[in-house]
């Protein structure tokens, strides 16, 4: 959504008066951004994207200060053609790890046991880099993060560390039966049963597991009123099965501020901690940043986003891109939050990748930043 719309300004004024801004800590606590552009951002593109472009996107993103990048998916190319080369992207991060100032957690979406096998095949058979790539010092612990937070916590096993970086796996569920059957061809309970051994084996081999709950704030087949209690029940089951983090996803972008607030309250009442979840907003109806601010007010400190506002879901007709990373960073920094992300560099990447794939840049902050950088370059 535009950073200048009346709705956003009203939400900003309202929330800036709340305790998370005026407390002694303010928003000086760290907010972790999970960059999903290389996977969720590209998966719905119709034109073919070369593996070189995908590898280059991950490489550039690694230099922005991000801690976590969702780099690909081991899905069958028949269903998600753009993810067909994820094995080569993973191989690249192992043999030629992107330069970064700190360890990065790379996440890989696995739709089923075959995807897990393909992931393990690469992880176990591709030799690590031999160029002496240094292992950076561990990332600092943030007061708002628990020891169980993926990418920064003690649950990360030594077996998933390669060249100083970490690797995690992701799975996906749906909060409605209609979307589950359309997306995975099985019921919610059948999905849980199928993913249980995958999660157990991933954790046995030392790979933390992230679980998405899709259509948590609206379903393209059942409408905008997804039952928050069903979302909470599913989150609890996934955590009990061993998920290290739950990404609560507004896949359709139907979510509103009241619905987001109610969902977060329901999750809390069910015993799901803020440190257990990240919020994942799409901007179909221009509500992503407003819902982000509602989530901040609730105490959430982890958010998914995609550079350039890339994204969409092949099983959610009409859904547009994720909240743009540039817009999210700009908003968070304006509130005093620390993300570690370089907005200028992220904006350059947003301009590059959207041009590369022939897509309009979906970030207001990114385009404004690029305009400023061009002016500054002309004045120099």
DSSP string for 251-271 = TTS---HHHHHHHHHHHHHTT
User: Is 215 in contact with 252 (CB distance < 8 Å)?
Assistant: yes
Mean pLDDT of 110-128: 92
- Paired strand residues for 305: 35
Tell me what pLDDT residue 159 has: 57
Mean pLDDT of 135-147: 38
- At 370 the three-state DSSP class reads helix
Per-residue pLDDT at 155 exceeds 70: no
Average pLDDT, the chain: 87
Tell me what pLDDT residue 71 has: 97
pLDDT (tens digit per residue) in 28-67: 589 999 999 999 999 888 888 999 999 999 999 999 999 9
Which residues are identified as catalytic? 313
Tell me what pLDDT residue 47 has: 83
**Does pTM top 0.85 for this prediction?**
yes
The Cα–Cα gap between 56 and 89 comes to 9
Cα dihedral sign for 252, 258, 261, 262? Answer: negative
Tell me what pLDDT residue 318 has: 61
The Cα–Cα gap between 281 and 249 comes to 6
Per-residue pLDDT at 341 exceeds 70: yes
pLDDT (tens digit per residue) in 225-236: 999 999 999 999
The Cα–Cα gap between 178 and 30 comes to 37
Relative to beta strand 161-162, strand 165-174 is: antiparallel
The Cα–Cα gap between 56 and 48 comes to 15
User: Is 336 in contact with 297 (CB distance < 8 Å)?
Assistant: no
Taking alpha carbons only, the member of 214, 146, 217 closest to residue 180 is 214
Tell me what pLDDT residue 164 has: 81
């Amino acid at each position: 959504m535009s950073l200048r719309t009346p709705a956003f300004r009203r939400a900003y004024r309202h929330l800036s008066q709340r305790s998370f801004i005026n407390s002694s800590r303010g928003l000086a606590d760290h907010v972790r951004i999970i960059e999903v552009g290389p996977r969720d951002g590209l998966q719905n593109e119709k034109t073919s994207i070369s593996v070189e472009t995908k590898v280059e996107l991950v490489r550039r993103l690694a230099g922005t200060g991000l801690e976590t990048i969702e780099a690909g998916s081991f899905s069958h190319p028949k269903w998600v053609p753009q993810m067909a080369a994820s094995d080569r992207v993973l191989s690249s991060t192992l043999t030629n790890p992107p330069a970064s100032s700190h360890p990065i957690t790379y996440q890989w979406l696995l739709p089923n046991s075959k995807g897990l096998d393909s992931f393990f095949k690469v992880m176990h058979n591709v030799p690590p880099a031999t160029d002496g790539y240094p292992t950076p010092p561990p990332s600092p612990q943030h007061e708002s993060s628990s020891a169980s937070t993926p990418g920064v916590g003690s649950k990360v096993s030594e077996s998933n560390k390669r060249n100083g970086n970490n690797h995690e796996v992701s799975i996906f569920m749906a909060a409605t039966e209609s979307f589950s059957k359309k997306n995975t061809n099985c019921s919610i309970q059948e999905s849980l049963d199928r993913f249980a051994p995958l999660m157990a084996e991933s954790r046995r081999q030392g790979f933390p597991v992230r679980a998405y709950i899709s259509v948590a704030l609206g379903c393209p087949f059942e409408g905008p009123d997804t039952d928050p209690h069903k979302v909470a029940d599913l989150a609890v089951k996934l955590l009990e099965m061993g998920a290290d983090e739950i990404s609560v996803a507004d896949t359709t972008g139907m979510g509103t501020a009241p619905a987001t607030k109610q969902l977060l309250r329901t999750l809390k009442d069910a015993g799901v901690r803020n440190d257990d979840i990240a919020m994942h907003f799409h901007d179909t109806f221009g509500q992503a940043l407003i819902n982000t601010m509602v989530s901040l007010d609730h105490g959430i400190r982890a958010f998914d986003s995609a550079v350039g506002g890339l994204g969409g879901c092949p099983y959610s007709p009409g859904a547009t891109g994720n909240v743009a990373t540039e817009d999210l960073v700009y908003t968070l920094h304006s509130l005093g939050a620390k993300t570690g992300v370089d907005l200028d560099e992220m904006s350059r990447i947003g301009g590059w990748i959207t041009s590369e794939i022939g897509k309009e840049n979906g970030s207001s902050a990114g385009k404004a930043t690029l305009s400023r950088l061009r002016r500054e370059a002309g004045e120099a």
